[in-house]
């Protein structure tokens, strides 16, 4: 997975993503679990759509991603909106230099890209080290049933005027593991007047685990799990039909 070339078209492909729902969920969680400060970090910020929304609400935002092209686009948005976001190029599995934060969040499948248990432990430990005692960690993951019933062995496609993709999802060796093979076709703007496109391919590897697994690992890394809920609502219990599971954990 690189997201380097995809970064240029990511916002077009994600134009219907529920960014405002993530923001509303987060603010509700901050209020419910009594967040006392406003220094927060977006872990896996992508092109910065959630980061700038939170900065516009007067949070002091740091935004971290391992794809430089994504960060470039995110930083340009913040500059154009005159929002003081600090951007950090860093691998989520190797967090360093982060301390005394009030909250950390990681949405839109970011944690599903941490595919191995030992790497997840490194991420959760790094987040705990970055937070103040009592700091909150919020993230979401695909549910196991959603992966099995709605994603694996499925083909998806999107056809836009200037770009399109074909996306095939295949299963891995373990439950909850999947591979995404994506082929993109993008209009070649350098050849104006010609109906020509160029192609590029990306492969992505994701893995999701059970609620019990994530909860146990969070506790091992110094968190108390305050809430596990489904599909953008603190009031929605996780069931067999839940697609996206949300975790809210507090650093002890």
Integer Cα distance of 42 and 60 in angstroms:
11
Q: Which two tokens stand for residue 135?
A: 């700091």
- Comparing 78 with 187, the larger pLDDT belongs to 78
Domain 7-142+209-251 has CATH 3.40.50.150: yes
Q: Provide the pLDDT for residue 3.
A: 55
* Phi, psi values for residue 118, rounded to 5°: -70, -30
Q: What is the pTM of this model?
A: 0.94
State the Cα–Cα distance between residues 187 and 190, nearest whole angstrom: 9
Length of the chain in residues, anyone? Answer: 252
Per-residue confidence band for 1, with pLDDT thresholds at 50, 70 and 90: very low
Is there a shared CATH topology between the 7-142+209-251 domain and the 145-207 domain?
Answer: no
pLDDT tens per residue, range 132-170: 999 999 999 999 999 999 999 999 998 887 889 999 999
| Six token digits for residue 30 | 């901050």
Token duo for residue 210: 């059970």
Residue pLDDT, tens place only, 44-92: 999 999 999 999 999 999 999 999 999 999 999 999 999 999 999 999 9
Lowest mean pLDDT among 11-20, 42-51, 59-68, 207-216: 11-20
Q: What's the confidence (pLDDT) of residue 112?
A: 98
Do 182 and 10 touch, CB atoms closer than 8 A? no
CATH 3.30.2320.30 fits 145-207, yes or no: no
Average pLDDT, the chain: 94
- Please give the pLDDT value at position 186: 84
Q: What local confidence, expressed as pLDDT, does residue 16 receive?
A: 92
Asked if residue 225 lies in contact with residue 248, where contact means CB atoms within 8 angstroms, the answer is yes
Residue 235 structure tokens: 């009031």
**Domain boundaries along the sequence of the chain:** 7-142+209-251, 145-207
Structure tokens at 247: 């975790």
* β-pairing verdict for 163-171 and 101-106: unpaired
Q: Which residue has the higher pLDDT, 4 or 206?
A: 206
Closest CA to 97 of 139, 63, 126, 61: 126
The predicted structure's pLDDT at residue 190: 63
Q: What is the DSSP letter of 100?
A: S
User: 119 to each of 27, 111, 161, 215, how far by Cα in Å?
Assistant: 28, 10, 39, 15
């Amino acid at each position: 997975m690189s997201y380097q070339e995809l970064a240029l078209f990511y916002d077009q492909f994600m134009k219907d993503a529920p960014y405002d729902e993530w923001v509303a969920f987060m603010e509700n969680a901050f209020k419910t679990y009594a967040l006392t400060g406003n220094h927060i970090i977006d872990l896996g910020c992508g092109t910065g759509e959630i980061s700038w929304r939170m900065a516009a609400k007067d949070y002091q935002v740091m935004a971290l991603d391992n794809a430089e092209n994504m960060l470039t686009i995110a930083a340009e948005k913040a500059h154009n909106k005159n929002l003081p976001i600090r951007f950090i190029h860093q691998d989520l599995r190797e967090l360093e230099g982060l301390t005394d934060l009030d909250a950390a969040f990681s949405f839109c499948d970011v944690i599903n890209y941490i595919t191995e248990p030992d790497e997840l432990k490194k991420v959760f430990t790094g987040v705990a080290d970055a937070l103040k005692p009592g700091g909150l960690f919020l993230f979401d993951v695909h549910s196991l049933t959603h992966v099995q019933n709605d994603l694996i062995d499925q083909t998806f496609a999107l056809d836009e005027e200037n770009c399109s993709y074909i996306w095939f999802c295949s299963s891995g060796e373990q439950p909850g593991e999947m591979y995404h093979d994506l082929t993109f076709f993008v209009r070649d703007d350098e050849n104006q007047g010609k109906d020509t496109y160029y192609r590029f391919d990306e492969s992505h590897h994701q893995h999701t685990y059970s609620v019990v697994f994530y909860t146990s690992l969070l506790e091992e890394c110094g968190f108390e799990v305050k809430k596990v809920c489904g599909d953008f609502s603190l009031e929605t219990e996780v069931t067999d039909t839940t697609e996206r599971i949300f975790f809210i954990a507090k650093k002890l």
